[in-house]
Structure 1
Amino acid sequence: MASTVCSAANLSTFLGGSATNATAAAEYICNNFNAVSNKFVDTSFAVDTTYLLFSSYLVFSMQLGFAMLCAGSVRAKNTMNIMLTNVLDAAAGGLFYYLFGFAFSFGSPSNGFIGRHDFGLKNFPSESFDYSYFLYQWCFAIAAAGITSGSIAERTQFVAYLIYSSVLTGFVYPVVSHWFWSADGWASPAAQTLLFGSGVVDFAGSGVVHMVGGIAGLWGALVVGPRIGKFDHSGKSVTMRGHSGTLVVLGTFLLWCGWYGFNPGSFVNILKNYGKSGSYYGQWSAIGRTAVTTTLAGCTAALTTLFGKRLLVGHWNLTDVCNGLLGGFAAITGGCSVVDPWAAVICGFFAAWVLIGFNKLADRFQYDDPLEAAQLHAGCGAWGIIFTALFAKKEYVNEVYPGVPGRSYGVLMGGGGRLLAAHLVQIMVIVLWVSVTMGTLFWMLRKLGLLRISLEDEMAGMDLTSHGGYAYDDNDYDKTLEMGKKVENPSPGTLPV
């Protein structure tokens, strides 16, 4: 932000008296004026940085939300394992995003595919980036890794978590974020791109974060295979409930709170007016609107899931409602800043049915994802990308992404089909990129014998076999072990859960 500069030479011509006195008075006035002006500039930077840091802390709290949600959604004998993987997503992600990830994402100048500068935060801080921006983007990277960990829970070797988390946060996710969020990215709306002259409007990452994490989890779950006992001899899905609805609800509310840093925080700064200074309307209003659209999409999805599942299965299901709520949040994340609140209600309604539909497909094709992470984040994230291309409002798009005349906006808002075409391309390239990279990685881990745990370890529970003991003192563990010992030549579908 540039300060307003007072020129003593210009001011002196308006002051009476001798030339010497006029010059001295002008210098005195301008020195004080410039000092005050610079203080306002300093304050603006401090306010914006504080806003970004606070948003970072909210987003980071989502790691605790993921940990609690995952812990409650798995069986008790795997509680310590899944919580430790969430800790390591943050720890390994922090190191690898620092060394490589941020540079691949935002290192500029670069080509349209990948960043090439600022490895290990070299040349920080600068006019382009301060440390707070790195912290915020790191929180996003580890969120993508946290999504994936739930898909392969309860049957994956611990070393596999370390490897995939490092690769995802250090390379796979950063490349995607460079494409759509860096000013140099080939599909970024920050510049006049080649992608239909529009670029992609994925404000907080329905595609960049949620689809990347969800598609990675999809391939992980496909390659590692379903949990023992998840499908019976006829191929019918067997319910394997998580051990704590309390932890599921706690994790859901923590994620809900963190989403107020995830979506509104993606504005990065708050002290920015739209139009002339002194108006009540500015970026602070857009931030408030973004928080409202986020809230409405999640609430609508939760209620739609509640009544939808009641009609389908005949009872009110706590976990389904929590996942529906999160599906609404994942869907609205891409367009939260450029749609009206009424459109967010539509987003949440359809997000719930997208999640229900993908869960039906998962059962039909014997796909096992304990957290419904691929269905929720990849499925609802893809819907969110399409939704944004349908409902993005011209006024909001030009405010959030200024500087490009004739920028495309939502099809149903009169903006033509260029934005929709760009968003369909986004979905396809994310699926292709993550499938090639993470699908290959999981396949290699399986071939090397580093992916799935042994049958005995899975029956006993990973807490006992990998982490030295159970999270809880519960006699049910002993019963599970005794039942496992009595089964001779077990096969999938016959083992006790």
Structure 2
Amino acid sequence: MANISVNGVDDLFVLKEKLNSIREEINLLRWPPKEQQNQNAFFHCFMALFIFLMQCGFAFLEAGAVRAKNITNILTKNVLDSLITIISYWSVGWALAYGPNANEALSGLFGWSQFLGFGLDNFSRFFFQYVFAARASTIISGAVAERAEFTTFLAYSLFVPAIVYPILTHWGWSDQGWLARGIRVDSSNYHTTYMDFAGAGVVHLCGGVISLVAAWMIGPRVGRFSPNGHATRIEGHSVPLASLGGFILMLGFLAFNGGSAVDIARPGSGQLVAKAMVITLICGAFAAIVVLIEHKLWHDKWTVLLTMNGCLTGMISSCAGCNQMEMWGTVITGMGGGLFYIGFSKLLLKLRIDDPLDAFAVHAGGGLWGLISVCIVSNQPGRGLIYALFSWSLTTILHAIVQFGWQLLAAIVIILWSGLLVIPLFGFLKLVHKFRVPADIERKGIDIWKHGEDAYPLVAYGHGWDEMEGNIEQMINQHEVEKKLKDRMQQHPSTNSSTSPRYVATIWHDPDKYGTLNRRKQNADNGQNNGVTTIL
């Protein structure tokens, strides 16, 4: 009886594969291949649009988390990130990731065809994979915000989607990739494989590790850490903007995970997509609650920004296994994601590494835990440790342990590949002084000095006073404003920004100037020469 039980458990996976092949044959009779291709193409393009919208979420999140003097810089980066990524992924990245390789000895390492789109015919898959590549690239900017040269953004936006990310996706997601093919465990038909349904490893762990390397090599922002190692909090300029960005990212992650279903025309795929979305949201909820409660217990505050980060970490943790976990698995995956975020965030502070948006804690923490948790809660035979333990089959337990080891190997490979490959890139930029802006520009703000565009220009804060007095432009012109700002900067060289609200209030809301203007306006309206009204 014991042998029958063991063999029965071992054959479950093979039987399931046979049933799936029979379903596919029946499906071919119901839906011609061309109609299935059209359905899949529309589904992937539709989901890719929401994932593309995540770039807007990153833009709002990063803009709200930085100071007002650096908003134009971070927004310009987000605009160009999507544009540069499509060029690098189209020219090189796609070919290395999914281009067929005729050399069997090297086919497990990288693709080698369809460069510059020659021979490319599956444009829906290309578009879907492109938006994933863009997300892996845009993660990095949050870690180096407010002090990176614009050349740095351009360099990694070209390099990561062209080389780093595509090779990883070939290893893990291509049918030829060595991680995806796995190893044969014993005399049975069981093979290990890389379990990552929606990119917890190849997208988020990759981007998070690069963020860590970039933040470590570029150094902390001016004033972030005192000489004795004490961390000084640097506030972002807009909680509403950051929160809006977080909500957009939450929406995008539902499409990120749900859209990873390869064949929507296959029977049952619709339910798989819906289940993946529900699991993603629940994982985010549990992670957010963990972070919220932890911060309340230790700091006695209810925080919205850290709660949002916790939610995003939980959703990232679900990326690896949202297609193969039951609802109870969301508790383990989500709460674990919240704990990983807290631990990784505190670790960086201990190491005095400045990550303004916690990009490493969110993406690397969530991605790493996602790769681990799927091996714990997976409902596939021989894949999940919990199901294997309750099967009471030594063979199944052995398979699950080997699969867990294979998944850990994949995580280590992703960390080493992502981290080691970008060190020479950032090192070269540092050598030629194109990695970080000078300290004086960092203090004054990157927007005006590097872009010539202030996110909140002083001349926009007229509040209608020009309608009350025709010569206001002569009284307070741009030259006068800039002169006063420079004088104040010389008096207070440690002040963070020339567009600080204290300057705006001092110059544009001068009671003497506006009180005089208001008196003139009121006297003209009433035909009087007396009476004073002061507007502060």
TM range (shorter): 0.7 to 0.9
1:116 corresponds to which residue? 112
Whether the 8 Å contact between 1:334 and 1:384 is mirrored in structure 2 is: yes
1:43 corresponds to which residue? 35
Q: Deviations over 1:322-376 (max 9, x none)?
A: 1011110111111111111211122111111111111111111111011100111
Q: In 2 relative to 1, CA 210–132 (structure 1 residues): closer, same or farther, beyond 3 Å? A: same
1:256 corresponds to which residue? 250
Aligned pair partner of 1:56 in 21, 39, 48: 48
Note the residue ranges of structure 1 that are not aligned, 5 or more in a row. 6-35, 274-281, 396-407
Q: Deviations over 1:396-424 (max 9, x none)?
A: xxxxxxxxxxxx31112205202110111
Q: Which amino acid aligns with 1:461?
A: G
CA distance, structure 2, for counterparts of residue 222 and residue 47 of structure 1: 45
2:333 corresponds to which residue? 347
Whether the 8 Å contact between 1:49 and 1:269 is mirrored in structure 2 is: no
CA distance, structure 1, for counterparts of residue 266 and residue 488 of structure 2: 64
Whether the 8 Å contact between 1:73 and 1:242 is mirrored in structure 2 is: yes
Matched position secondary structure for 1:93 = helix
Q: How does 1:264-413 map to 2 (within 5 A)?
A: 264-273=258-267, 282-394=268-380, 408-413=382-387
Whether the 8 Å contact between 2:313 and 2:338 is mirrored in structure 1 is: yes
2:152 paired with 1:160: yes
Q: How does 1:145-224 map to 2 (within 5 A)?
A: 145-188=137-180, 191=181, 193=183, 197-224=191-218
Q: Deviations over 1:51-91 (max 9, x none)?
A: 11111111111111111111111111111100111111101
Which is further off, 147-156 or 110-119?
A: 110-119
CA distance, structure 2, for counterparts of residue 389 and residue 440 of structure 1: 34
Matched position secondary structure for 2:264 = coil
Q: Which amino acid aligns with 2:120?
A: F
Cα displacement (A) at 1:200: 0.9
Q: In 2 relative to 1, CA 482–103 (structure 1 residues): closer, same or farther, beyond 3 Å? A: farther
2:456 corresponds to which residue? 472
Q: In 2 relative to 1, CA 220–308 (structure 1 residues): closer, same or farther, beyond 3 Å? A: same
Q: In 2 relative to 1, CA 470–287 (structure 1 residues): closer, same or farther, beyond 3 Å? A: same
Percent identity (aligned): 32
Aligned pair partner of 2:236 in 230, 234, 242: 242
Which is further off, 288-297 or 411-420?
A: 411-420
Matched position secondary structure for 1:114 = coil
CA distance, structure 1, for counterparts of residue 164 and residue 29 of structure 2: 44
2:393 corresponds to which residue? none
Whether the 8 Å contact between 2:101 and 2:110 is mirrored in structure 1 is: no
Cα displacement (A) at 1:145: 0.7
2:407 corresponds to which residue? 423
1:453 corresponds to which residue? 437
Q: Which amino acid aligns with 1:108?
A: P
Matched position secondary structure for 1:333 = coil
Aligned pair partner of 2:226 in 232, 251, 272: 232
CA distance, structure 1, for counterparts of residue 487 and residue 165 of structure 2: 43
CA distance, structure 2, for counterparts of residue 480 and residue 108 of structure 1: 60
1:28 corresponds to which residue? none
Whether the 8 Å contact between 1:334 and 1:385 is mirrored in structure 2 is: yes
CA distance, structure 1, for counterparts of residue 232 and residue 430 of structure 2: 25
Matched position secondary structure for 2:403 = helix
Q: Deviations over 1:266-319 (max 9, x none)?
A: 11321112xxxxxxxx12111111111101001111122111111111101111
1:27 corresponds to which residue? none
CA distance, structure 2, for counterparts of residue 164 and residue 459 of structure 1: 24
Cα displacement (A) at 1:486: 4.1
CA distance, structure 2, for counterparts of residue 470 and residue 418 of structure 1: 55
CA distance, structure 1, for counterparts of residue 279 and residue 443 of structure 2: 44
Q: Deviations over 1:191-242 (max 9, x none)?
A: 4546993021011111100011111111111111000010123211111111
The TM-score normalised by the length of structure 1 is: 0.83
Which is further off, 224-233 or 41-50?
A: 41-50
The TM-score normalised by the length of structure 2 is: 0.77
Whether the 8 Å contact between 1:151 and 1:372 is mirrored in structure 2 is: yes
Cα displacement (A) at 1:442: 0.9
The count of residues paired between Structure 1 and Structure 2 equals 436
Aligned pair partner of 1:138 in 122, 125, 130: 130
Cα displacement (A) at 1:148: 0.6
1:22 corresponds to which residue? none
Which is further off, 101-110 or 137-146?
A: 101-110
Cα displacement (A) at 1:452: 0.5
Cα displacement (A) at 1:460: 1.1
Whether the 8 Å contact between 1:148 and 1:216 is mirrored in structure 2 is: yes
CA distance, structure 2, for counterparts of residue 392 and residue 468 of structure 1: 52
Aligned pair partner of 2:425 in 432, 436, 441: 441
CA distance, structure 1, for counterparts of residue 109 and residue 31 of structure 2: 40
CA distance, structure 1, for counterparts of residue 342 and residue 254 of structure 2: 25
CA distance, structure 2, for counterparts of residue 51 and residue 185 of structure 1: 25
CA distance, structure 2, for counterparts of residue 183 and residue 193 of structure 1: 14
Note the residue ranges of structure 2 that are not aligned, 5 or more in a row. 1-20, 389-395, 462-480, 502-536
